[in-house]
Amino acid sequence: MDLGLRGKIVLVTGSSKGIGRSIALAFAREGCQVAINGRHTRELEQAASEIRAAGGTVHAIPADVTEAEGARHSVEETVRRFGTIHVLVNNAGGIGRFAPFEELTDDEWLDVFKLNVLSAVRVTRAALPHMQKQKWGRIINISSESGTQPDPVMPHYNASKSALNSLTKSLSKAYGKDGVLINTVSPAFIRTPLVEEMFTQQSEARGVTVDQVEQLLLREFRPNIVLGRAGKPDETAGVVVFLASEQASFITGSNYRVDGGSVASL
Ligand SMILES: NC(=O)c1ccc[n+]([C@@H]2O[C@H](COP(=O)([O-])OP(=O)(O)OC[C@H]3O[C@@H](n4cnc5c(N)ncnc54)[C@H](OP(=O)(O)O)[C@@H]3O)[C@@H](O)[C@H]2O)c1
Q: What is the pLDDT of residues 157-186, one digit of tens each?
A: 999 999 999 999 999 999 999 999 999 999
265 assigned to some structural domain: no
pLDDT-derived band at 115 (thresholds 50, 70, 90) equals: very high
As a whole number, mean pLDDT of residues 255-260 equals 98
Based on the fold, state whether residues 75 and 205 are members of the same structural domain: no
Q: Taking the C-alpha atoms of 150, 153, 159 and 164 in order, what is their torsion angle to the nearest 10 degrees?
A: -70
Based on the fold, state whether residues 139 and 35 are members of the same structural domain: yes
Protein residue with its CA nearest to atom 2 in ligand 1? 190
112 assigned to some structural domain: yes
Based on the fold, state whether residues 239 and 217 are members of the same structural domain: no
Q: Would you give the DSSP letter of residue 6? A: T
As a whole number, mean pLDDT of residues 104-125 equals 98
Instruction: List the beta bridge partners of residue 137.
Output: 180
Which domain covers residue 222, as residue numbers? 191-230
Rounded Cα distance, 173 and 74, in Å: 25
2 assigned to some structural domain: no
159 assigned to some structural domain: yes
Ligand 1 centre from 20 Cα, in Å? 7
More confident: 152 or 21: 21
pLDDT of 98 over the 90 cut: no
Looking at the structure of the chain, the number of domains it has is 2
Strands 180-187 and 33-38: unpaired
Based on the fold, state whether residues 78 and 161 are members of the same structural domain: yes
Based on the fold, state whether residues 122 and 224 are members of the same structural domain: no
1 assigned to some structural domain: no
Ligand 1 centre from 55 Cα, in Å? 24
| Of 91, 191, 218, best ligand 1 pocket probe by most atoms within 8 Å of the beta carbon | 91
pLDDT-derived band at 211 (thresholds 50, 70, 90) equals: confident
pLDDT for 198 equals 82
Based on the fold, state whether residues 70 and 147 are members of the same structural domain: yes
pLDDT-derived band at 140 (thresholds 50, 70, 90) equals: very high
Tell me whether residue 175 is one of the annotated catalytic residues: no
pLDDT-derived band at 92 (thresholds 50, 70, 90) equals: very high
Ligand 1 centre from 200 Cα, in Å? 17
Based on the fold, state whether residues 212 and 115 are members of the same structural domain: no
